[in-house]
Amino acid sequence: MHRRRLSLLLCLLSALWVVQSVYATSPAPPASSPPPETEPAAPATVIRQAMQYALNLAFDQAFTQVTQLKEAEQAPLTAQFTEGLVAYFQHRLDPKHAAAARKRGHAALTAVLEDGQKQLSKDTDDPWLTLLLGTAAIFDGLLQKTATPWQSQQLFTQGRARLQDLLIAHDTVPDAHLGLGLLYFATTDLPGPLRFLPSTFVQGGSSDAIHHLRQAITRGTFSQDIARTFLALLYEKEQRHEDALALGETLQQAFPMNGSFALLTGRNQCALRRYGACAATLGQLEARLSASQVILAQRDDRFDLYFLWGTALNERQEYEPAFRAFRRAINQDVRARKDDTLWAKYHLARLYERRGQAKTATQIYHTLLRGRNVDDLHERATRRLTHLR
């Protein structure tokens, strides 16, 4: 009996020893500590997100990104730089706020240049700061190009020097390629005699610009979508329509609320004489435009939409919708400043002929002959008048 009790006592003592050992070696549960703070997004990530909003015409959301950067008080120059880029695209794509956006963008980019220069004098080997200064100079030059062309040329020179030196010293800053590629557009659309200035900013011409923009697309941290946008425009300007079309379709899918990318796709389809595809692309864009004018707010863009849509429909012998499209194109340029407006009137006259309304067609031909000539427009109008007599 005593042996049985002694055995049970020994078992209890062993069990207590095991439990004590486990608790002694196990870590104590943590006290009620606060949850870990969320790491702020990298500056390049915030810039890219803001650009994606801007390119999709969501400017309020894009500027919200800027506000969040400013409130964080960790990257004030990055916030100003981002604000300048968003304002640049608002100036280009939102005519209702274009003047205010240009002013806002210029103020933000000027602040980057002034404040950044002070910081750079203290730390001359800061790749990110140098990237912001060089790219800000080029975007400010593009923003101010038509208003203050001479000052813009100085900004382009300044930006090119910074970015070239940056790539030589730090090949690991691929976003510097963006600004160098944008120099292709430094002398386009300049007023007066300045439009004849040679583009000395991109020494290799279009091939050099294409190289830089491709590098920004494949290696950049925030510049990919911006570089795709400008590379598509460059391809179109250089009449590389297949390349422009491929990029246009990519941008159209990425930013469906921005009708200018669908228009870009349609323009290049028309240039390649793919009239069925062009009519379909622009017909869909026109249907969306009827529901929301915001997606294609620029009057010049709406003219291109209706003129090219009418051209494609006319080539496909869809004469009634072509007639309506040409009339709408003419209504976008009532003073006939564009040469294509004169051609729209000529095509409209031909369609009036098809309708059996020779008198109206004759009046349009006479009106065209009283105006300026474009290519063989007067010769064609004269032949039509001779035919109608």
Tokens of 130: 């140098």
Percent of the chain with pLDDT over 70: 85
pLDDT confidence tier of residue 150, bands split at 50, 70 and 90 = confident
Nearest to 203 by CA among 184, 177, 189: 184
pLDDT tens for residues 342-357? 999 999 999 999 999 9
- Domain, as residue range, for 117: 42-238
Across 56-74, average pLDDT: 90
Across 117-126, average pLDDT: 84
pLDDT over threshold 70, residue 375 = yes
pLDDT tens for residues 166-187? 999 887 899 999 999 999 998 7
Give me the pLDDT at residue 202, please.
46
Give me the pLDDT at residue 41, please.
60
If one counts every other C-beta atom within 10 angstroms of the C-beta of residue 308, the result is 24
| Burial of 60 per CB tally in 10 Å (0-12, 13-18, 19+) | exposed
Within-domain flag for 345: no
Across 153-177, average pLDDT: 92
CATH number at residue 88: 1.25.40
d(CA 53, CA 370): 47
pLDDT tens for residues 310-369? 999 999 999 999 999 999 999 999 899 999 999 999 999 999 999 999 999 999 999 999
Q: Which residues contact 295 (CB under 8 A, 6 or more apart)?
A: 57, 257, 258, 259, 285, 288, 289
The dihedrals phi and psi of 41, each to the nearest 5 degrees, come to: -65, 150
Give me the pLDDT at residue 26, please.
40
Within-domain flag for 162: yes
Q: Provide the 8-state DSSP code for 43.
A: H
Q: What value, to the nearest 5°, has the Cα angle with vertex 218 and ends 163 and 133? A: 20
d(CA 151, CA 143): 11
Across 296-301, average pLDDT: 94
If one counts every other C-beta atom within 10 angstroms of the C-beta of residue 26, the result is 8
Tokens of 69: 């950067």
Q: What is the mean pLDDT of the chain?
A: 88
pLDDT tens for residues 237-277? 999 999 999 999 999 999 999 999 999 999 999 999 999 99
Distances (CA, A) of 194 to 137, 139, 203, 245: 20, 19, 18, 30
Within-domain flag for 95: yes
pLDDT over threshold 80, residue 10 = no
Within-domain flag for 89: yes
Within-domain flag for 73: yes
Give me the pLDDT at residue 110, please.
96
- pTM for the whole structure: 0.85
CA Rg value for the chain? 31
Distances (CA, A) of 137 to 47, 111, 174, 183: 17, 11, 17, 11
Across 7-21, average pLDDT: 44
pLDDT confidence tier of residue 95, bands split at 50, 70 and 90 = very high
pLDDT over threshold 80, residue 40 = no
Give me the pLDDT at residue 23, please.
41
Within-domain flag for 261: no
What is the distance, to the nearest Å, from the Cα of residue 61 to the centroid of all Cα atoms in its chain? Answer: 16
What is the distance, to the nearest Å, from the Cα of residue 323 to the centroid of all Cα atoms in its chain? Answer: 32
d(CA 276, CA 34): 62
d(CA 88, CA 148): 15
Within-domain flag for 316: no
**Roughly what angle, to the nearest 10 degrees, separates helices 205-219 and 224-237?**
150
Within-domain flag for 268: no
**Domains held by the chain: number:** 1
